[in-house]
Amino acid sequence: MSCEIRIDGLVKRFGGSTVLNGIDLHLKPGERVAIIGPSGTGKSTLLRCLNFLDRPDEGRITLGDLSLDAARAHRDEILALRRRTGFVFQNYALFANKTARQNIMEGLTTVRGWPEAKAGARADAILRQIGLGDRGDSYPAGLSGGQQQRVGIGRAMALEADLMLFDEPTSALDPEWVGEVLDLIRRIAGGRQTMLIVTHEMQFAREIADRVVFMEGGRIVEQGPPDRIFGAAEDERTRAFLRRVG
């Protein structure tokens, strides 16, 4: 969890529409970066491209000594990148037919190739960390939305990734469950885990991020420390967005 991360010239098109238009973003080891901006501006697509859930059309992604030409990366390179990233989805994305423990084990056994016993022990330790030590045998249908999302976060934590990607982790939650998920992310952030967080929770972004990035129209418009972005943004597009959501 200590490498520099670089995103250079990332482009993604869907049909005739350019969703990401030359994204350059560099993260220092342990840095927590929040991405904010209007819906449909490419924030979630950026995260999906970084984990190759969507393949970029142009650009380069570098995690420490691993550097990929995003448009030409082959399967082994993509798997190597995924071993070093953890992804937390906005809709939990848990396997309904697997228990909480098995959901956390999944990446360890399939991506890392760990034996079942070792993965199970790691999953149990993670369950205790996320406050669900007594729910390891529960299936997603028996868990609240907040508990399901904590399992999703636990699954990403288990990989001890260089970079954790959070795609609006509270957007699918009922209001009463938002706090417990944000509290867990705060605890992880306290360990200086490098994070890239797409969020619509402005106060959370202001509190947790070392840097806030404002995106609009598939581009990075402005970025800087939270106090400057939220208190004295330089670009009128940033100021207009914050007025709308404030």
Find tokens 């030359």 and name the residue: 22
Domain limits, the chain: 5-245
Q: Residue 192: its pLDDT value, please?
A: 83
CATH architecture of 5-245: 3-Layer(aba) Sandwich (3.40)
CA nearest to 35, candidates 144, 130, 166: 166
- Of 236, 246, 242, 213, the residue nearest 20 (C-alpha): 213
What are the angstrom distances between the C-alpha of 231 and each of 113, 188, 190, 213, 245? 47, 26, 24, 14, 14
What's the pLDDT score for residue 236?
97
Distance between CA atoms of residues 25 and 213, nearest Å: 9
Nearest CA among 131, 124, 230, 246 for reference residue 183: 131
| Contact yes or no for 68/60 (Cβ under 8 A) | yes
Residue 75 burial (10 A CB sphere; 0-12, 13-18, 19+): exposed
151/144 Cα distance (integer angstroms): 11
- In this structure, what DSSP letter does residue 229 have? H
Q: Give this prediction's pTM.
A: 0.91
d(CA 58, CA 45) in angstroms, rounded, equals 14
pLDDT of the chain along its 246 residues, tens only? 568 999 999 999 999 899 999 999 999 999 999 999 999 999 999 999 999 999 999 999 999 999 999 999 999 999 999 989 999 998 888 999 999 999 999 989 988 889 999 999 999 999 999 999 999 999 999 999 999 999 999 999 998 899 999 999 888 888 888 888 888 988 888 888 999 999 999 999 999 999 999 999 999 999 999 999 999 999 999 999 999 997
Tell me what pLDDT residue 2 has: 66
- List all residues 6 or more positions away from 202 whose beta carbon is below 8 Å from its beta carbon: 36, 230, 242, 245, 246
